[in-house]
A and B are shown apart, each in its own frame.
Chain A
């Protein structure tokens, strides 16, 4: 067991991947000598050289498109998109090409490309640096989307993404890059399947589903609720596509109440999908409507007001009160 930050855990996970798989390579802007704007690839170019850690021209469509070509040739590229808001020049390649090549080749071809995207707000940054576009990708069949919330998952999930034969987008909670935690580099243990949700805290009165940067917030809200005598279960979703509905359903069948929280706007978001599925699967267990706590229907606001936009402990507790009032 070693203690490290999420950023370091991803760095170590990438190092392990590059060492174990000679066909794996990293591609992105400023990921070489600089080590990426968040230093997630720090030191890797020195160990593996510029053919394995590739500083690319500044062009996101180019990064994704050439990664697809490398994958067709048998390579396992891991692309870094510098910030969430800058993935859109590559959106066409991701949704019309990467997601569809396996299907449109009748299964003859596979393109196991991994795309790393630091996402989410709360860092006081300028526009396009704080967004949560995961639902836009979750809506596209052919992609898998995962998001770690702690260093142990970060270390293993990046390696599992590379091993997966399907394209995987890894959304990295950038405001938690410096969150420290224990990492077991010997075995993933309960994190063996990156597409399974984890029950982080058991409870009986209500369930909170969170992922990525809001997992610590959900846990804090559950602890606060406990002081008021409420027993709240917290689930770290971990995978956004596919979603582990079995774990969420089992929890709701026990607690009867569900709150889903994410930074992304609620409209058309992951929370709505979970609410709809759970209303189908656990209708008779529900004591209250599923409540979403998320961003508003607006472009991500300026940093000085982002605290009013982002779900926090109080907004989750307010939702919990509403759920318990039924």
Chain B
């Protein structure tokens, strides 16, 4: 269901309409619209919501970490510049190439859905820096629990991107083996995976103790877990419970919240009246808001957080402040609930454009490099399109086989019935598929 323009602002359930911001309504009226707004200020931190935080918490919210601004100029940060400085020119070009590749992939997948090749597609455009920056900060021994939009993180974990399409084409509910890449299956029930991430991290803690006790040779490198979720899912109870458990047991987990400002049609200020990163304080671990469109800052902050977790210092919450430039999924229509001017303002903060400016200004990449990136992207898109077309339909016998790991008499009985029933059609005609015809 879509929001009806004005239905929220007129009934006044948005926090911006009440109590804290008597001027919010007049601002909206000034814009000549009743559409909800995310109240961004167009440059960096959302001043209005920072004021909210100060009003509620009695102290100012932490500043957003930003190193590479929309103008392509690299700033400094007392903690995170050290991490950014570790990135070589090759690393920076790689981050750009990854972001460009995943954006091209996203365009292709969206096109495949429009052409009826996929049932649905959740696009990531706009969130490339948040995903590539954080994914590239992870180590092979780390384990990643995504939502269903982390296509960019999948790329950094070397998941074959064509495999991502299986779920959206209806041939599998997974497609890749998480054990190969430490990149878990997509989880569609919002925030359920945040608890799995904490449990997995609790397992890492126990593995470390078992290894220490057995004095085993060939010690494994310390590992951590990243749990991805969004601003909408942050309202789910499982996020709360996962943060309680993680804090209580000091589990090595990084909560990576991509605040893309819209949970389908509902803006972030319905989910939270304070910056999401501030919530970490209530659980007793660090919370950092980072410019989610700044791949260098995201990489630096995530690397810091993963180190913190791996060293046994406990969890970290990162709020990547970004924007879903496209629709929630291909079944969505953002014109119903937000202004195109808002989208335009965020396009001006594009993560790829700012890194391109920086690479060119510093002489780290030239026209030939960007032409190569584009050609590589087109090649990836062609590969994905070709592979999607070639995906074979599965056999329902595989579904029977995977309900349980151990033999199960009911499944065996129903499969046997199905085989016998199917065999009855050998050489004959099936009525299945004729229902629609008969109905008309």
Contacts and interface: CB of A to CB of B under 8 A. Distances in A.
Nearest to A195: B409
A288 interface: no
B358 to A, nearest CB: 38
A73 B203 contact: yes
A67 B174 contact: no
B185 A96 contact: no
Given A102-B403, A108-B178, A66 B185 contact: no
Interface in A54-93: 56-57, 59, 61-62, 64-75, 77, 89, 92-93
Contacts of A71: 199
Contacts of B237: 61, 89
Chain B, interface residues (CB within 8 Å), range: 35 or more
Interface stretch (B77-85, B115-123, B188-196, B346-354): B188-196
Interface string B164-195: 00000000111001110000110101001011
A165 interface: yes
Contacts of B185: 101, 104-105, 109
Contact of B201 (A69, A97, A108, A142): A69
A51 interface: yes
Nearest to B173: A104
Contact of A103 (B194, B197, B210, B402): B402
Given A62-B241, A108-B178, A109-B178, A69 B203 contact: yes
A184 interface: no
Contacts of B199: 65-73, 77
A306 interface: no
Given A61-B238, A103-B403, A165-B406, A108 B179 contact: yes
Nearest to B401: A107
Contacts of A166: 404-406
Given A107-B401, A107-B402, A69 B174 contact: no
Given A61-B195, A96-B189, A107 B200 contact: no
A87 to B, nearest CB: 15
A141 B400 CA distance: 11
Contact of B192 (A57, A65, A73, A243): A65
28 contacts: A25-B206, A56-B245, A57-B241, A57-B248, A62-B195, A62-B241, A64-B195, A65-B196, A66-B198, A68-B195, A69-B202, A70-B202, A73-B207, A74-B203, A96-B189, A96-B192, A97-B187, A97-B189, A102-B402, A102-B403, A106-B398, A106-B402, A110-B405, A142-B403, A144-B408, A164-B406, A243-B410, A245-B409
Interface of B: 143, 172-174, 177-179, 184-185, 187, 189, 192, 194-207, 209-210, 237-238, 241-242, 244-245, 248, 398-399, 401-406, 408-411
Interface of A: 22, 25, 51, 56-57, 59, 61-62, 64-75, 77, 89, 92-93, 96-97, 100-110, 141-142, 144, 164-166, 195, 241-246
